[in-house]
């Protein structure tokens, strides 16, 4: 997982609330066997059916921050939703509120989900719509979101922040302490089943 | 203070435990299959990681394999790609795989126990909700998601918050014709589908003690259907007798040491559970579901319930919705419900004892006109055993189809599906809308009820024949 310290980029305004995981990535894409390459699946229904959908607008191309309405990521717990957002190029999603499971999945996978008060998100949406060139900075060291004329703190627990700053996914974290695993393995019962390896 | 079985298993696998962090548990056996593993392997490759313990990892092809012509290429491209991906991943990472056609192939939760790989005191995980099946041996076994599959592959451990403990006690003796499936369906109807949420459940009492290992597996299998994280039964002489002599069971002095240790794996008399459910065995009779979740069940001798009689608003709405989907009228005797398909199989009831019970009822009878009956063994070993006992001849003679091993109509990922509006009596574990095929209607039943239903064409128990 890449380390996350400070990210600056342009943003896309997604003025919708209750964006559920089936909208983020429709179920038909879940049958794939790959882990990457889900960028085509992101918001596929909206991209295909709504010519004006924000991701279809030239002026927002190349943006790396998604700004959405409240209750982003509700619905079934598919991890693919986070993969699709990352594959498309998003580094951060900002919303007044996230569904718990989605938020857990995103922070584990290194996609920073930032909660700001609804009225602040509104101002951000207004500003990026007025000027799509607006650069938004998400500073994890300071736990701040900044854009011209605005500075706002956000909350994130110390443990998760540290994990993201260090670029440690759950596996990376566990692998920092393989000594404990080695020691545990030394004490396992001798009769426990083992399979032939090839 | 004393400890419960679940607590002993948990504490016996702690690699690390610190305040403010989830516990890190060691995993003794990781079972994988074609549907939930591909992206985990891909994740390892992308991060340049390997599989820490391929010798503690076992793969099989089960979820979407065809059960007819198993040596022809799989017709469905998605299924074929998943199976081919599993084969190349196992070859790349050095993992033992039992592919279609192999004598050891079968449903992941059937092959572990029959090989003696599932033993008391172990932690076992798999990217499948019904991993709790292995808890029947006094193991801590639970289903996990794809990123957890990757975590176990890379580290042989899993970070987990410790669930609470619950006891389900069923004392007394089951009446003849009442099976473990009826017991677990009755438990779920009593607790509701969310009743076990957040718990590791231990099934206790005379009813479970009297069950065979296969019966105990049927019970533990359905733990997830009422929300439990894991289900388990303390190991005893029945467990040891089942394990002895199996390919991966310990032998000689190690067997003796193992039995001595396994005998300690029971809840201490002064231990307490966070919650308890009690049921009287005498209350349980053959049970079937009428709705679209496993908690919507009732004794076969009763009627389709009237939604307006449910006290809780959400239950009433759910019942109305279920009856509409199932095409049922409140008040209809359950025995009057006619079916066009009977499925015997799955990791719930696809073992040799289930097939024996089914055959014993079918023998000398014919499957009713207009009813299609599928018998799908849980594994190739079960299939071979059934054939050596002549059970296949009984099924075929009665007019049923005898298939190769796999999950088959349990989830309808392969061509074995219900058509829209078709109704089945099924020995599997989920009656969700569309589970066995889009628009298909499922009644969960025991193998005995399945067989009697096949003969009569309506939901029935062998007592009526
Ligand atoms: S038989 Fe059904 S429940 Fe069991 S592993 Fe297969 S699909 Fe899952």
**Of B98, B75, B294, nearest to B182 (Cα)?**
B294
Average pLDDT over residues B155-175: 96
Average pLDDT over residues B184-190: 95
Q: CA-CA distance, B214 to B180, in Å (whole number)? A: 9
Q: CA-CA distance, B375 to B392, in Å (whole number)? A: 9
Question: Average per-residue pLDDT in chain B?
Answer: 95
CA of B247 to the centre of ligand 1 (A): 24
Q: In this complex, is the C-beta atom of B121 within 8 Å of any C-beta atom belonging to chain A?
A: yes
Q: Is the pLDDT of residue A91 over 70?
A: yes
Q: Is the pLDDT of residue B74 over 80?
A: no
Buried b (16+ CB within 10 A) or exposed e, B315-336: beebbeebbeebebeeeeebbe
Ligand 1 atom with minimal separation from the B411 CA: 7
Q: What is the ipTM of this complex?
A: 0.92
Average pLDDT over residues A73-87: 89
pLDDT value, residue B76: 81
CA A68 → CA A9, A97, A107, B103, distances in Å?
A: 16, 9, 17, 53
Q: Is B63 in the pocket of ligand 1 (CB under 6 A)?
A: yes
- Residue numbers of B between 249 and 288 with CB closer than 8 Å to A: 250, 254-255, 257-258, 261
Question: Average per-residue pLDDT in chain A?
Answer: 94
Q: Is the pLDDT of residue A22 over 90?
A: no
Nearest CA to ligand 1 atom 6: B407
Suggest the residue from B39, B40, B51, B79 to mutate for an interface test with chain A (most A CBs closer than 10 A). B39
- Residue numbers of B between 157 and 216 with CB closer than 8 Å to A: 157, 159
Average pLDDT over residues B420-436: 94
CA of B122 to the centre of ligand 1 (A): 21
pLDDT value, residue B442: 97
Q: What DSSP character marks residue A179? A: H
HEC assignment per residue over chain B? CCCCHHHHHHHCCEEECCCCCCEEEECCEEEECCCCCHHHHHHHHHHCCCCCCHHHEEEECCCCCCCCCCCCCCCCHHHHHHHHHHHHHHHHHCCEEECCCCCCCECHHHHHHHCCCCCCCCEEEECCHHHHHHHHHCCEEEECCHHHHHHHHHHCEEEECCCEEEEEEEECCCCCCCCHHHHHHHHHHHHCCCCCECEEEEEECHHHHCCCHHHHHHHHHHHHHHCECEEECCCCHHHHHHHCCCCCCCCHHHHHHHHHHHCCCCCCCCCCCCEEEEEEHHHCCCEEECCCCCCCEEECCCECCCHHHCCCHHHHHHHHHHHHHHCCCCCCEHHHCECCEEEECHHHHCCHHHHHHHHHHHCCCCCCCCCEEEECCCEHHHHHHHHHCCHHHHHHHHCCEECCCCCHHHCCCCCCCCCCCCEEEECCCCCCCCCCCCCCEEEECCHHHHHHHHHHCECCCHHHC
In whole angstroms, what separates CA B361 from the centre of its chain? 23
Q: CA-CA distance, A36 to B10, in Å (whole number)? A: 35
Q: In this complex, is the C-beta atom of B464 within 8 Å of any C-beta atom belonging to chain A?
A: no
Q: How many CB atoms lie within 10 A of CB B219?
A: 29
pLDDT value, residue B379: 95
Q: Smallest Cβ distance to B261: which of A33, A181, A189?
A: A189
Strand partners, B102: none
B320: confidence class by pLDDT, cuts 50, 70, 90: very high
**Of A22, A15, A17, A14, nearest to A75 (Cα)?**
A22
Q: Is the pLDDT of residue B438 over 90?
A: no
Q: CA-CA distance, B52 to B212, in Å (whole number)? A: 35
Q: Is B410 in the pocket of ligand 1 (CB under 6 A)?
A: yes
Average pLDDT over residues A36-57: 95
Q: What DSSP character marks residue A139? A: E
Query: In angstroms, what separates the C-alpha of B457 from chain A's closest C-alpha?
Result: 36
pLDDT value, residue B314: 84
pLDDT value, residue A198: 64
Q: Is the pLDDT of residue B412 over 80?
A: no
pLDDT digits (tens, 9 = 90+) for A116-135: 999 999 999 999 999 999 99
pLDDT value, residue B193: 86
CA of B64 to the centre of ligand 1 (A): 10
Q: Is the pLDDT of residue A77 over 80?
A: no
pLDDT value, residue B264: 98
Q: Is the pLDDT of residue A136 over 80?
A: yes
Q: Smallest Cβ distance to A175: which of B28, B154, B255?
A: B154
pLDDT digits (tens, 9 = 90+) for B87-142: 999 999 999 999 998 999 999 999 999 999 999 999 999 998 899 999 999 999 99
Q: Smallest Cβ distance to A193: which of B21, B117, B146?
A: B117
Q: In this complex, is the C-beta atom of B129 within 8 Å of any C-beta atom belonging to chain A?
A: no
- Look at A184 and B26 and tell me if their CB atoms are within 8 Å: yes
Q: CA-CA distance, A54 to A51, in Å (whole number)? A: 9
pLDDT digits (tens, 9 = 90+) for A137-186: 999 999 999 999 999 999 999 989 999 999 998 999 999 999 999 999 99
Whole-angstrom distance between the N-terminal and C-terminal Cα of chain B?
53
- Look at A197 and B95 and tell me if their CB atoms are within 8 Å: yes
pLDDT digits (tens, 9 = 90+) for B355-371: 999 999 999 999 999 99
A75: confidence class by pLDDT, cuts 50, 70, 90: confident
Q: Is the pLDDT of residue B50 over 90?
A: yes
């Amino acid at each position: 997982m890449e380390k996350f310290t400070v990210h600056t980029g342009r943003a896309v305004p997604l003025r919708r609330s209750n964006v559920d995981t089936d909208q983020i990535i429709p179920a038909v894409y879940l049958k794939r066997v790959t882990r990457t390459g889900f960028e085509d699946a992101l918001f596929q229904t909206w991209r295909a059916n709504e010519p004006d959908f924000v991701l279809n607008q030239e002026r927002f191309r190349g943006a790396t921050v998604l700004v959405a309405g409240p209750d982003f990521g509700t619905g079934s717990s598919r991890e693919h939703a986070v993969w699709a957002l990352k594959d498309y190029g998003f580094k951060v999603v900002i919303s007044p509120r996230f569904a718990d499971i989605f938020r857990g999945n995103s922070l584990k996978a290194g996609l920073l989900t930032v909660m700001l008060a609804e009225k602040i998100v509104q101002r951000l949406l207004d500003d990026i719509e007025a000027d799509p060139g607006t650069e938004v900075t998400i500073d994890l060291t300071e736990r701040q979101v900044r854009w011209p004329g605005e500075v706002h703190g956000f909350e994130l627990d110390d443990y998760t922040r540290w994990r993201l700053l260090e670029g440690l996914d759950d596996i990376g974290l566990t692998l920092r302490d393989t000594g404990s695993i080695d020691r545990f393995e030394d004490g396992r019962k001798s009769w426990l089943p083992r399979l032939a390896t090839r | 203070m004393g400890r419960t079985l679940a607590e002993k298993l948990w504490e016996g696998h702690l690699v690390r435990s610190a305040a403010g962090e989830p516990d890190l548990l060691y995993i003794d056996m990781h079972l994988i299959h074609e549907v939930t593993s591909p992206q985990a392997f891909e994740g390892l490759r992308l991060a340049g990681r390997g599989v820490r313990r391929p010798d503690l990892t076992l793969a099989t092809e089960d979820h979407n394999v065809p059960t007819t012509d198993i040596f022809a290429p799989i017709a469905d491209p998605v299924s074929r790609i998943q199976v081919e991906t599993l084969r190349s991943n196992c070859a790349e990472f050095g993992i033992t795989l039992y592919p279609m056609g192999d004598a050891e192939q079968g449903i992941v939760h059937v092959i572990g126990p029959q090989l003696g790989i599932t033993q008391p005191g172990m932690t076992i995980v798999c990217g499948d909700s019904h991993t709790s099946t292995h808890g029947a041996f006094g193991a801590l076994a639970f289903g996990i998601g794809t990123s957890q599959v990757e975590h176990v592959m890379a580290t042989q451990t899993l970070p987990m918050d410790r669930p609470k403990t619950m006891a389900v006690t069923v004392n007394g003796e089951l009446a003849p014709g009442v099976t473990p499936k009826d017991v677990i369906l009755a438990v779920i109807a009593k607790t509701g589908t969310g009743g076990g949420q957040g718990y590791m459940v231990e099934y206790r009492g005379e009813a479970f003690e009297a069950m065979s290992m296969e019966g105990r597996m049927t019970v533990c299998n359905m733990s997830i259907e009422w929300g439990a994280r894991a289900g388990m039964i303390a190991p005893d002489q029945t467990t040891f007798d089942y394990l002895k002599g199996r390919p991966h069971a310990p032998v000689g002095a190690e067997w003796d040491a193992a039995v001595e240790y396994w005998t300690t794996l029971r809840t201490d008399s002064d231990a307490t559970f966070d919650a308890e459910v009690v049921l009287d065995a005498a209350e349980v009779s053959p049970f079937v579901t009428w709705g679209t979740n496993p908690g919507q069940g009732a004794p076969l001798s009763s009627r389709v319930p009237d939604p307006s009689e449910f006290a809780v608003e959400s239950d009433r709405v759910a019942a109305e919705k279920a009856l509409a989907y199932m095409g049922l009228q409140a008040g209809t005797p359950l025995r009057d419900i006619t079916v066009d398909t009977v499925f015997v199989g799955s990791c719930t009831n696809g073992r040799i004892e289930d097939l024996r019970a089914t055959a014993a009822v079918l023998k000398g009878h014919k499957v009713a006109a207009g009813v299609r009956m599928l018998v799908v063994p849980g594994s190739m070993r079960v299939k071979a055993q059934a054939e050596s006992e002549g059970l296949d001849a009984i099924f075929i003679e009665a007019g049923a189809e005898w298939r190769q091993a796999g999950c088959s109509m349990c989830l309808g990922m392969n061509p074995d599906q219900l058509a829209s509006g078709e109704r089945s009596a099924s020995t599997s574990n989920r009656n969700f809308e569309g589970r066995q095929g889009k628009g298909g209607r499922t009644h969960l039943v025991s193998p005995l009820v399945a067989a009697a239903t096949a003969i009569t064409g309506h939901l029935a128990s062998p007592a009526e024949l």
